[in-house]
């Protein structure tokens, strides 16, 4: 298996204690930022600043593509927040990775979002989706975050081999002992493939 590190992705659904525990253990994090054309996750600012305060090794934020809304307007909504946070992170010498969470909607909406994003930034985004959805989209020049929800070494290796630009693989980790009982999304970050994050890049955001 390729070299990897582990990290969590969180939104307001995960409490602050859980967020802090994994942030400090992993020194990396992915945060939910926006959804639709108006929604901003209520934890994004506080948790973004917490990530900067410890100078995380890897930091991503994502937009959840909502099938009820115009995809281009969603890209603009995400861009407005991303640009603000990108500039702050850049001053801390941290590269903020933009991610599109594609779990619903049409292929056309997905393409419209990506095209609008490219117009705005001249860069690509990471695409998060499941293996079953990947067959519907063109993954050329797209860094992928593939959801598998199992930490079977065999399946992880299969996903990584199938998608050469897969840089993240998500699985569900269940923790149960005398003190806690919960499930949380965990991810393998394939460090050998981080070059796929930036197919095309502009210094101006």
Per-residue pLDDT reduced to its tens digit, 67-85: 999 999 999 999 999 999 9
Q: Please count the residues of the chain.
A: 205
Vertex 151: Cα angle to 165 and 184 (nearest 5): 100
What is the value of pTM for the model shown?
0.91
Long-range pairs for 165-174: beta carbons < 8 A, 24 or more residues apart? 165/139, 165/141, 165/193, 165/196, 166/190, 166/193, 167/126, 167/143, 167/193, 167/194, 167/196, 167/197, 168/126, 168/128, 168/144, 169/145, 170/9, 170/128, 170/145, 170/146
Residues with pLDDT less than 70, the chain: 1, 149-152, 175-182, 199-205
Which tens digit of pLDDT belongs to each residue from 118-146?
999 998 899 999 988 998 898 888 999 99
**CA 64, CA 15: separation in Å to the nearest integer?**
19
């Amino acid at each position: 298996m390729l070299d990897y590190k582990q990290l969590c992705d969180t939104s307001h659904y995960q409490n602050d204690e859980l967020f802090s525990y994994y942030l400090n253990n992993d020194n990396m994090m992915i945060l939910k930022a926006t959804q639709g054309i108006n929604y901003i996750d209520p934890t994004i600012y506080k948790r973004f600043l917490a990530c900067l305060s410890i100078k995380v090794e890897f930091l991503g934020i994502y937009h959840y593509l909502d099938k009820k809304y115009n995809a281009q307007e969603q890209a603009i909504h995400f861009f407005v927040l991303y640009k603000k946070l990108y500039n702050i992170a850049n001053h801390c010498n941290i590269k903020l990775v933009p991610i599109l969470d594609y779990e619903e909607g049409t292929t056309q909406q997905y393409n419209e979002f990506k095209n609008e994003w490219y117009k705005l930034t001249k860069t690509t985004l990471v695409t998060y989706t499941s293996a079953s959805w990947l067959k519907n989209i063109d993954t050329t020049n797209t860094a992928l975050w593939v959801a598998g929800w199992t930490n079977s070494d065999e399946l992880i290796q299969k996903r990584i081999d199938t998608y050469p630009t897969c840089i993240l693989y998500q699985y569900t980790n269940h923790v149960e002992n005398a003190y806690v009982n919960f499930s949380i999304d965990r991810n393998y970050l394939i460090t050998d493939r981080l070059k796929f994050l930036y197919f095309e890049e502009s210094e101006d955001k």
